[in-house]
Amino acid sequence: MPKTGVFHLDLSRPKAAWGIFMKWIKFMIKTITDAEDLIISTLYDIGLEGAQIEDKIPLTPLEKEQMFVDILPDGPKDDGIAYLSFFVEENDECPVDTEEMTAKIRRELDGLREFMDVGEGSIMVSETEDIDWINNWKQFFHQFYIDDLLVIPSWEEVKAEDRDKKILHIDPGTAFGTGMHETTQLCIRQLKKHITPETVLLDVGTGSGILAIISLMYGIKHVVGTDLDPCAMEAVRENMEANQIAPERFEMMIGNLITDKTVQDKVGYGKYDIVVANILADVLVPLTPVIVSQLKPGGVYITSGIIDDKEQTVRDAVEAAGFELLEVTYQGEWVSVTARKPE
């Protein structure tokens, strides 16, 4: 029986629920059930957050409860095959380059093949309109805690007992994260250990701006964010407004910090107390020697997005760049490496 995962779609603009038909690009991957979770987690980092999962694994009691059913007819025998479908909104502001996205997905699948079986790994691309679940999916995303921080979407009320807590207001989007992923939570915990009221932060691969915004909420001085995706500009702007972050505290840039000298110059050298990069290991390796120049002496480098099999690869890159390893932390299959630039 098909299972449906959480759909993280941006409802900040009117869509089908308001009588407007939207176009969506669907990327369907044929894989195996054992690889479902890891593929979904890996594809978060290339802008595919949320998945529709179709397989023949029987529903769990919790899944039945969420579907308001107790007894379901017997389904076909589990054959180990799974189909993962990701939906990306197609619009004039942020057009979808299907060839580029398909190539990114294929690269990620090829990377996973180095240490696990992902099955066939074929990718099918199609276009659809006015997906039925757009009007109903909010039931799957609810407020949650990251330690003492409450993360809440716009359609839920803050409970009376939570009004004195730190609260991050953020809605799921088509391309960027909400804080639910383990790698984001690892970074948040490391940031809280090292930030001060005088911290100037560089957030590489900013996405929704969640790490930068949380750091500002906890009282740091200033953030510069970089991302390859132009859509990050609007995502950051909306999330800053939702959390009442003054525009002058967060400067956002689009470009490749690894290869573009113009971006490196604009970001600046020797001016950051902390650099955080929640990016896949294969990107962290070439990024790390660049970051050395951006950090102040004694500055802290926080990384995540590292699947556990890639931990040593990132540790080697950090040490080769001259950093002092401070701490390695873990959550699920994911790793965060924190290091310091020598004084």
Residue-level pLDDT, tens digit, the chain, 343 residues? 233 333 333 323 233 333 344 577 889 999 998 888 788 878 876 767 567 788 776 555 444 343 333 444 444 566 788 888 887 777 666 678 889 889 989 988 988 888 788 899 999 998 876 554 444 455 556 777 788 888 887 777 888 887 788 888 877 654 445 666 788 889 999 999 999 999 999 999 988 888 999 999 999 999 999 998 787 888 888 889 988 999 999 999 999 999 999 999 999 999 999 999 998 888 899 999 999 999 999 999 999 988 888 899 999 999 999 999 999 999 888 899 999 999 9
CA-nearest of 131, 102, 133 to 29 is: 102
pLDDT value at residue 5 = 35
Give the H/E segment covering residue 334: strand 334-340
pLDDT value at residue 179 = 62
pLDDT value at residue 57 = 61
CB contact set of 172 (below 8 Å; sequence gap of 6+): 6, 7, 8, 9, 10, 49, 50, 141, 153, 178
pLDDT value at residue 59 = 52
How do beta strands 149-152 and 200-204 pair? unpaired
What is the distance between the alpha carbons of residues 47 and 69, in angstroms, rounded to a whole number? 33
pLDDT value at residue 172 = 63
What is the distance between the alpha carbons of residues 45 and 282, in angstroms, rounded to a whole number? 12
pLDDT value at residue 54 = 82
pLDDT value at residue 173 = 54
CA-nearest of 80, 29, 22 to 51 is: 29
pTM for this structure? 0.66
